[in-house]
Structure 1
Amino acid sequence: MGLLDRIFFRQRARTGSEEERRTSEAVGRVLAMNPRLRNARHYEERLTRVLKTSLNHTDSLVASLPRPRDANADAWSSDPMIRALFATPDDLAQAFSRSEELRAFFEENADSAEAYAVLGMAMNERHVLGVALEGDSIRRDVPQTTLCFSDHRVRICSGSEASLRGEIARRMVDQLALEGFASLAGNRRDLLRQSRALIEERVALLERQGTGMRAVVGAPSVTESDELGRLQTLMQENSQALAKLRVPAQQSEIELECVCNVFSKPSDHFYVQSRHVRVDAMNVVHPEGSEAGQEIELHFARIPGNPAVVRAFVLVRFPRRELLPGGLHIDAAMRAL
C-alpha cells in the first residue's frame, strides 16, 4: 500500500469514528430527554439508524448558513445587512450588551476578544404610504413595504465559528426529538391517557427551558435562575412519574416508533429558509432589478410548538470592546412586562 493510500484510509477511519461519536452523542441526548425509550426493543440500534439521516440533514442546513458577519459600529456603517437589523449603532450595542449569555461568555473567557453568536429577532413587514422620487419629482402617499426588526436576542455564543455551528446542529437534533415527543402527546389512539398527559407535560417543560432551536433563534423562554430551578424540579417529578407508570410492552414500541418516524424524515418537521430582498437605508423594500437600495439575504427558522414561531436569525461575531459596561439587565425587564 502506497503512502497516499495509507493517508486516505487513515482519513476515512477518522471520519468514520467522528460520525460514530456524533451519532452516539445524539442518541444519548434523545434518551436523556425521554429515558423511557430504553424500554423498547433494540432502541439504540433503531435510534442510531434514523439519527444518521437526521444528522445528514442538519449538517446540510448548518453548512448552508453564511459565514458570521461582524456586528459592531463599523459594520453598521458598511454592511447593509447589519444596518437593516438596527436603526442605529447604539441599538446594536445595547441589544448585544443586554444578553446575559454573552456577558457570561466574556466573563468565563477572559482571553477572548470576540464571541461568535446567533442573533435572533422578529421581523414584520409593514405596508405604509411613503415618499418616492421619480425622476426630478417627489411623489407622496406611495404604497411601500418596510421591514421592521425587533426583539433582538442572543442566547447561544461560542469562541469559534466551528463550535457555534456544532452547537446549532445539536440544537436542531434536539428540536427533532421534541417533535417526536410531541407526536406522542398527540397520539390519541394508541397511548394510555396518563402516559400521554405526562409526555405532553414533558414537552411543554422542555420548551419552556429553551430546549432545541428556540434558544438558538431567541424565542422567549424561561431564563431566570429561580424559575429554571423550579422547572428542573418539575422535570425530575415528571421523570419519576413516567418511570413509575406501568405500561404494556407494546406502548414502548409505539413511543420509539413515533420518535424514529420524525428522525427518518427530518425535512418534514424542521426547516430553515432564506430570502433575498433589496432594501434601502430606511428599510423600504424595492423590487428585484431596482437600482435603489442593496440586496441582503435573510434566514428564517420555523420552530414548531405551541405556539409555533418563525424567527429571523444571523450568525455574527461581536467584539468584547463594544460590550457596554454596567450589565444592562434589559432582558429581565422585558420579560417582566
Structure 2
Amino acid sequence: MFFKSLFSADEDLGGRYPKSRIEEAIERVVKGTDSRLRLLPGYRKRLLAPVVGALDHAVALVDDLPPPLTVSRESYLEERQLAALFASPETMLEDLGRDLTFRGFLAGHRFHVGELTALLRAEMSERQVLGRDIVDGQMRRDVPQTLVNFVGHRLSDLAAGEEETRCLLKQRTFDHLVTLALGRLASAETERADLTRQRDLLRRKLSALEHGDLSFDSPDAPPNREALSRDLDRITEQLHALGTDERVLEIHLEMVCEVLTDARRQLWSRDISLHLDAMNIERHPRDPSGRRIILRELNDAQGHRSILLLLRFDPVELPPPEDFLTAADRYFRATR
C-alpha cells in the first residue's frame, strides 16, 4: 500500500518522506490529473514542493481526527455523537451492518475478523419545522424549530486497527486533493471550449459584417463592429490566460501546482458545536433540554461537506442485512 510504505524508515534520507515514495506520489498526481504532463521537461522538480506540502496537509488532517468511538448499545447512551447521528442504538447497528463497504470487507475475508476500525461519513442538514415547545411557561403548538438531520451514513477505510485506518485515510485525503486538481483542469477545459465557440462565432460575425453578408434574418440593429472587436479581444485574452494549444500542458502543470500548494484552502476540517435535545432539535446553549455536541466536519473548495467520525466495533455485534425474500415474505404474512 502506497501510504503504508510512505512512512517506513527503510529509505529515510533525512527528510520527512523517503525519496522513492515522493516520486511515487508525484506520479500519482500526474496519473490522476493529466498524464501528458510527463512530456514537460522538469515536471518532477516543479511538482516536488507542492506534492510534499499536500502530503503534509493530508497527514495533519488525519492525525488531528479524534480517537475512534466504540460502537455498542451501551456506548450509544454514553456517546453524544452517536446519539446525534443515529435515531436509536438498533438503527445504528442495523445501518452499519447493512453498509455495502462493510459487507464487501467481510466477503473478502474468509475467516472470522476481530474488532475493526473505520471512518463513518454522513451529511448534516438543517430543516425548519413547527413543533410543540414551552414558551413563557406555557406549552404552545406550531413553534418554529430547527431540526438537525444526518443522512447518507457510509463506512470507509475499514482495517484491523486504528493505525491502518488512519494510513488509508491519509491516502484518501491526498487523493482527494488530486481529484480537486483534476476538477480544476476539467473546469478550465470546459471554459476553454466555451470561449473557443464564442471566439469562432464572433469571428464569423465580423467576417460577415466586413463582407456585407448579414442575412435578412439579422437584427434590426446590425452588430457594432467596434463592440464585436472588443469582445473578440477580451475572449482571446481569456483564452490566452487558459493557455494556447502550444502552452496548454504548461498551464495544466501550473494549475496542479497551485491546487496542491493551496491544499489548506482546498480541503480543511473544523469542529462544529451543536446543542441538541433527544429529538435532534437545536436548543439554546442555556436550555437544559439540549446537550452540547462537538462534531468534526470536512469541507472542500467545491462546497462538499461531510461529518467525520472514527468508529471501533466488533462485526459480530452488527446484525446481518435482511435479504429481500425474507423481508417480502414477512410483509405478505403481515398483510394477510
Alpha-carbon distance between aligned partners in 1 of 2:294 and 2:263, rounded to the nearest angstrom: 24
Cα 1:132–1:62 change in 2 (3 A) is: same
Alpha-carbon distance between aligned partners in 1 of 2:66 and 2:317, rounded to the nearest angstrom: 23
| CA RMSD in angstroms, aligned pairs only | 3.2
**Match of 1:176?**
177
Residues 301-324 of structure 1 deviation map (CA, whole Å, 9 limit, x = unaligned): 23455xx53222211112211222
**Match of 1:120?**
121
CA deviation after TM superposition for structure 1 residue 46, in Å? 1.7
Retained in 2: the 8 A contact 1:272–1:300? yes
The two structures have a TM-score, normalised by structure 1, of 0.69
The one-letter code matched in structure 1 to 2:54 is: S
The one-letter code matched in structure 1 to 2:166 is: R
Alpha-carbon distance between aligned partners in 2 of 1:14 and 1:160, rounded to the nearest angstrom: 28
Structure 2 counterparts to residues 284-303 of structure 1, below 5 A = 284-303=281-300
**Match of 1:6?**
none
The one-letter code matched in structure 1 to 2:316 is: R
Quick check: which has more Rg, 1 or 2? 2
CA deviation after TM superposition for structure 1 residue 327, in Å? 6.3
CA deviation after TM superposition for structure 1 residue 35, in Å? 2.0
In structure 1, runs of 5+ residues without a counterpart are 1-9, 197-246, 330-337
Retained in 2: the 8 A contact 1:98–1:328? no
Q: Secondary structure at the match of 2:15?
A: helix
**Match of 2:23?**
24
From 248, 257, 267, the equivalent of 1:251 is 248
Retained in 2: the 8 A contact 1:41–1:253? no
The two structures have a TM-score, normalised by structure 2, of 0.69
Cα 1:281–1:88 change in 2 (3 A) is: same
Q: Secondary structure at the match of 1:66?
A: coil
**Match of 1:324?**
319
Cα 1:291–1:14 change in 2 (3 A) is: farther
Aligned residues: 266
**Match of 2:307?**
312
Cα 1:287–1:26 change in 2 (3 A) is: farther
Q: Secondary structure at the match of 2:183?
A: helix
Q: Secondary structure at the match of 1:37?
A: helix
In structure 2, runs of 5+ residues without a counterpart are 1-8, 197-243, 325-336
Cα 1:119–1:62 change in 2 (3 A) is: same
Cα 1:12–1:132 change in 2 (3 A) is: farther
Structure 2 counterparts to residues 98-109 of structure 1, below 5 A = 98-109=98-109
Q: Secondary structure at the match of 1:104?
A: helix
CA deviation after TM superposition for structure 1 residue 263, in Å? 0.7
Structure 2 counterparts to residues 49-88 of structure 1, below 5 A = 49-88=49-88
Residues 53-73 of structure 1 deviation map (CA, whole Å, 9 limit, x = unaligned): 112222222122111112222
